[in-house]
A and B are shown apart, each in its own frame.
Chain A
Amino acid sequence: LAKTTQPISMDSYEGQEVNITCSHNNIATNDYITWYQQFPSQGPRFIIQGYKTKVTNEVASLFIPADRKSSTLSLPRVSLSDTAVYYCLVGGLMDSSYKLIFGSGTRLLVRP
């Protein structure tokens, strides 16, 4: 599975847009890009997944450039409750042996 690199931590303020970028230079053709969110004392929660271009849901947007060597998770107008660790993962699908390999994640702190 492709290795990912993301900032260890980020600070923001309530109401701001937060963009977390993840590098995955060795992404394979059949790899998807998935982001998870983890609050303290909880399991990771699926946020968004994409293959190329842009994906948007009610929680976030995911921007993927044409070369797919990076991706950016965009959280609009963050609130204090968005303080969490955000993980970027890449991997192949449609395979029962597919496994998620988590990196160190980005610890986002949203301040009042």
Chain B
Amino acid sequence: DTAVSQTPKYLVTQMGNDKSIKCEQNLGHDTMYWYKQDSKKFLKIMFSYNNKELIINETVPNRFSPKSPDKAHLNLHINSLELGDSAVYFCASSEQGAQYGYTFGSGTRLTVV
């Protein structure tokens, strides 16, 4: 079983569209995250949820809205997609405090054309 699974793996869409990326973890972790890795390969945290509560919200445009229906799921909805949103988005989860490390999903490659 995949510990942290993201869907879709690839997403190609036009500017201005709205899209969602789903993430699910079966590890029983309390905290989930979204990271963005741009073309220069820098990984930047976007959001973090702990038991469905938003705890980290970095400087991310309002067009990005995370939603956590339960602690095993953290979805990312993006409105009015722009070319600069093209990147690989990684979901991750951890025990509270992350003292044992994060488990990352395999990523969703978003291409906005």
Contacts and interface: CB of A to CB of B under 8 A. Distances in A.
A29 interface: no
The bracket for how many chain A residues form the interface is 20 to 34
B106 A96 contact: no
Interface residues of B, number: 28
Interface in A65-100: 85, 87, 91, 93-100
Interface in B35-54: 35, 41-45, 48, 50
Contact of A95 (B42, B92, B97): B97
A96 B101 contact: no
A13 interface: no
Contact of A102 (B42, B97, B103): B42
B102 A46 contact: yes
Contacts of B96: 96
Nearest to B40: A104
B105 A101 contact: no
A97 B31 CA distance: 9
Contact of B56 (A46, A91, A94, A99): A99
23 contacts: A32-B99, A36-B102, A41-B106, A41-B107, A42-B104, A42-B106, A43-B107, A45-B104, A46-B103, A49-B101, A91-B98, A93-B97, A93-B99, A96-B31, A96-B55, A96-B96, A96-B97, A98-B97, A99-B48, A100-B45, A100-B98, A101-B45, A102-B44
Interface of A: 32, 34, 36, 41-46, 49, 85, 87, 91, 93-102, 104-105
Interface of B: 4, 30-31, 33, 35, 41-45, 48, 50, 55-56, 90, 92, 96-107
